[in-house]
Structure 1
Amino acid sequence: MTAVELRQLATFVAVAEETSFTRAAERLHVVQSAVSSGIRSLERELGAPLFARTTHRVDLTDAGRALLPEARATLAAAAAAREAVDQVRGGLRGTVRLGILQAPVMRPVHVPRVLATFRAQHPGVALEVRHAGGSTTAAEQLREGRLDLAFIALAPRAAPGLTLTPLWREPFVLAVSADHRLCGATRVSLDDLTQEAFAELPAGWGMRLVTDRAFAAAGLRRTITYEVNDTATVVEFVRHGLAVALVPASVAEDLSDVAGVPVDVPDLAFEIAIAVSADRRRSAATEALLTMITSTA
């Protein structure tokens, strides 16, 4: 397959994953007309439309859905061939795409420090870091091949198709304001919290999955009054007395005007793992970064 054809496949995969010609062009660092031209050329060569285009959406056709896994496999094989040559020449090459979680819950692993060390050891590897959103989104992007590895807060049973290496585990505590009725309590139960207003992260995020599961297992309902997309804002709602929140113990440490109260629920814990696809071939660069992360945590 020629370089031009590989570029066509790369363009096709970018449009399929971004569901947008504009975003695919931004991702590939080319003008949008080049993306459109590449797709038209590939469709002519294959004799079938690959995308159904509307004013607001770009969806795969049946032919496009059939091509997508083959295109990804072909691009992976081409990358493997380049990688084999690079290793003979000396030094790792390629790109590694890493998904990360929010900074407050990543305290046990100093990601910038790890990446700086990795770059110093492997200057030929390009690192791309993305905050994918929730853990379920990151898991899906790993399965699709949009990420090479990612930090996620999911149990193995909730992450089919992925290989998880546990990195750390810590208990949840109830975060309350300094003047809250439960501040200073030695322990609380979930029954104590059914009348409280909660601040929470969106459904599908790792911390939210754990807390939702705990209340469901206890047969209890709670009121989520404030749903926000970052832990720091959750803590601010708590600090100002608007809500309580269940957070990893490290998040509540050393915060002024916020107290962490132990929760009387066995195994209510926040677990972080580094995850990779169980089915996709991993590059040598991805393996090297995976090894560095697991040895650092």
Structure 2
Amino acid sequence: MAGQPWNRVNIAFPGAVSCVRVHFNSTTDASVKSLLVNNGKVLQLLHSEILQTEVRVLYELLYILNNSYRGNKTFKGLKQVEQCINRLKNMKLDVALQELTELCPNRIQRGLSITAGVCELPSQPMLEWLCLKVLGAAKLMSCTLNRCSRTFSLTKQQMKWEEFIILNMVITSLLSRLWVISRGILVSLSSLYQQLLELLRPVADAQPMPFLTDFTLPADMLQFLGPSDALLLTKLAKAKEIKKKKNEQQKKDKTQGAARKVKEDVGVTVERAICLDAGMKPFLKVFRDFTEGKSFEQKTHKG
């Protein structure tokens, strides 16, 4: 694994040109648009205030526990989580993704390019280099999830033994939040990787300049990750499908008439409107921001 090209903090930048002129149509326009949207989501997560706050809490906690808690297994697990986060920072994924945003044409340029029939897009070496960056970051997020889960189990075991109860409650809550954030980033990276591969095909056909000669990019993130992490992605996909069906059913019910009424005979006549939107939505808003938030590009246009 150490010899894999994606398993490096600093992946060698390709020496070829960054942009090439290719044939541009509505299909390519849709691919570029989807790529920018998913790219914006990943950038939004990496720059999110929630993530930065949790990382600072982790650093402060490790600093406080450095002397008195050093030999504890939970402390060692927290250090491993810190290593994953530091490695993600050092690989400068956000800088690479910001460069991708600058290389891709904006909405006005894409409209003019459809009329002209040609457009400048990121070259094959650039896209393959970005794919390696995304794969490496996804593996780091996978490792972070595993280490958060392992450390959480150790902390839970100490709580059963009634050791350092308040401290362990702080650690478990921190690990839970980091796990949710890491999963959100992993899911966003999976979507971004698919869009990179989709744009890579027409670019490679128009201007073939292979950068990866001894490594084949996996077909999708499910193939690249282990079974446990792939299960997380498939579970989330099923949840989105169920939610989509639920929204369609809600729209169908609204078109059929007003909200239904339920009458109950408990001694006094009671009428209660069924609210289909009631539930845990306010409590799940934080996680929805990681999976369904507005893209970075959309926010900048609004500003």
TM-score class, shorter-chain normalisation, is: under 0.3
* Larger helix share, 1 or 2: 2
* Larger strand share, 1 or 2: 1
Greater relative CO (CA pairs within 8 A, separation 6+): 2
TM value normalised by structure 1? 0.26
